[in-house]
A and B are shown apart, each in its own frame.
Chain A
Amino acid sequence: MAADYTASDFRKGLRVELDGIPYLISEFNFVKPGKGAAIYTCRLKSLLDGNTYVRNFRSNDTLKKPDLEERTMRYSHKENEDFIFMDENFEQFTLNEKVLGDNQYFLFEDCEVHVLYHNGRPVDVTLPTFIEKVVLETEPGARGNTATNTLKPAKINGGFEIMVPLFINQGDTIKIDTRTGEYSDRVLKK
């Protein structure tokens, strides 16, 4: 029997199970009016279909820990709308855009990913924490401007946009944190 979580364990990013469906707590808020009891408001994102809904819990409510299994595989190629992966035994796996989310823009050939399975179904994908991408398009930063407080948009493959410091130029290679989808560092200046 999987262990339970009580409401005070609930956090953004926690995976829980409700009515047999695994969810990610994608947003979390805490409400406590006056001298009253706490209410934990969670946006639950289904790990099966990506749909979300909001639900309130009280301090004594519990949720199950879902039975999840992780498999390691490598990205091979894209076929139409599908992303094709292979494990070490060259067995082929297919993941769709919905399961990958923004991670689809961070994939590269032979990229190792961890795929989360719930009762044998792929439900979520984790990439290496940091990946490198070339900036395909961004406004040139003003020469000599080393300001640290301003960010500008930059496009990587697939037209995906992230915010980068002003000194980043088109053609530079940058490091991206796949957990947040945020810029992390410059690794190569063009």
Chain B
Amino acid sequence: MRSAHLECARLQGLKPALELRSRILSSIRDWFSGEGFIEVETPVRIPTPALELHIDAEPSGDAFLRTSPELHMKRLLAAGYGRIFQLGPCFRKGERGTLHNPEYTMLEWYRANADYLDIMADTESLLTFVSDSLGTAAHRDGSPFLKVPLMMPFMRTTIEELYLKHAGWNPVEAYDAERFEHDLIARVEPALPRDTPVFVMDYPAQAAALSRRKPGREAVAERFELYINGVEIANAFSELTDPVEQRQRFETWARERKARGAAVYPLDEEFLSALELGMPPAGGIAMGIDRLIMVLAGAKSLDAVMAFRE
């Protein structure tokens, strides 16, 4: 155990960052309320987590801690809730590093009868609203924060453009998962601009996750990631609403997970039944709030913005 004095000094040193954190959270809620969204809460402890190839869930008794609130929020969408958001904890087993904590705060929002471009517009509007609302307070307090000015429009680029320019190949035409991930870390992310937020759009269909394919260009998925200061902040989709394709994707990931020796979770049949009944076309996004606060604070590690790290 550390000296209580050192621990106390550490927590006191975090006060400006925790105040910034609190202001950002209330400003986020203000924006959603102004846009007519309702805040929802879905279970943190769930019978089965959303299947994804590279995400592991933390078991909790005979259930699991959620890795994301996505499937429950989509059940609300299918039941006719058109504009919903949620701010709350998510858990990912074994994810621990300067940009990861096994427990973290996620913001998710969904819009019915919308797609990823609408979510992109939401994201720009939300983040400039948050930044503006902090700007005044930050100047008044002489705060050292807000090293990244958020001004519209954010830069938009595609995966194809980035890989052709920085890695010399096109992952949409000839996808190779290992090469794709290697070059993302080694070549593409380091080349992203630091002076503006960037939307990286249109992923190869093999990396679609839960997004739909682009109508008229099936090789591309309607998915984007937001980067600020080279750090991945959010992931968004035009949501996949086809229950048949959704089931196939879950089954493929379950097979691949089994082949890799990873835990295989049962399919979320309640979610799939809701899709079968019908979910409106929708756009949705998941945003890492600890990371957002970190980049807004000009910090390099989550240590600077989370009071207690695992």
Do most interface residues of chain B lie in helix, strand or loop, or is the interface mixed? mixed
Evaluate contact between B232 and A34: CB separation under 8 angstroms.
yes
Q: C-beta contact mask, B93-119 vs A, less than 8 Å → 1, else 0?
A: 011111110000000000000000000
Enumerate chain A residues within 8 angstroms of B180, measured Cβ to Cβ: 36
Interface pair A149/B53, CB less than 8 Å apart? no
- A34-B207, A185-B3 known; A29-B97 Cβ under 8 A: yes
Closest partner residue, chain B, to A33 (CB atom): B184
Contacts of A55 in B (CB 8 A): none
A35→B207 contact, CB < 8 A: yes
Given A33-B185, A33-B189, verify A184-B235 contact (CB < 8 Å). Answer: no
* A39 touches B (CB below 8 Å): yes
| Chain B proximity mask over A28-58: 1 for CB below 8 Å, otherwise 0 | 1111111111110000000000000000000
Asked if A4 is at the interface of the complex by the 8 Å CB criterion, the answer is no
B5 (CB) vs chain A CBs: closest residue: A165
CB under 8 Å from chain B, chain A span 59-83: 59-60
A100 to B210, CA, bound (A): 53
Tell me the total A-B contact number using a CB cutoff of 8 A: 76
Tell me if A21 is interfacial: C-beta within 8 Å of chain B.
no
Instruction: Say yes or no: is B2 at the interface (Cβ < 8 Å to chain A).
Output: yes
Q: CA separation between A30 and B260, bound complex, in Å?
A: 19
A182 to B235, CA, bound (A): 40
A170 at the interface (CB under 8 A from B): no
Measured in the bound complex, the distance between the Cα atoms of B96 and A151 in whole Å is: 29
Within the complex, what minimum Cβ distance (angstroms) separates B82 from chain A? Answer: 27
Verify B54–A8 contact, CB threshold 8 A.
no
Contacts of A180 in B (CB 8 A): 2
Contacting A36 at CB < 8 Å: which of B5, B99, B184? B184
Determine the distance from Cα of A59 to Cα of B94 in the docked complex, in whole angstroms. 11
Using A33-B232, A36-B54, A148-B12 as known contacts, say yes or no to A183 and B5 having CB atoms under 8 A apart: yes
Contacts of B244 in A (CB 8 A): none
- Closest A-B pairs by Cβ, 7 of them: A30-B97, A36-B181, A149-B12, A29-B97, A33-B184, A184-B3, A35-B209
The 12 sampled A-B contact pairs (Cβ below 8 Å) are: A30-B94, A34-B184, A34-B235, A35-B235, A36-B54, A37-B181, A38-B95, A148-B5, A151-B9, A177-B2, A183-B5, A185-B3
Residues of B within 8 A of A (CB): 2-3, 5-6, 8-9, 12-13, 52-55, 94-100, 177, 180-181, 184-185, 189, 203, 207, 209, 225, 232, 235, 260-261
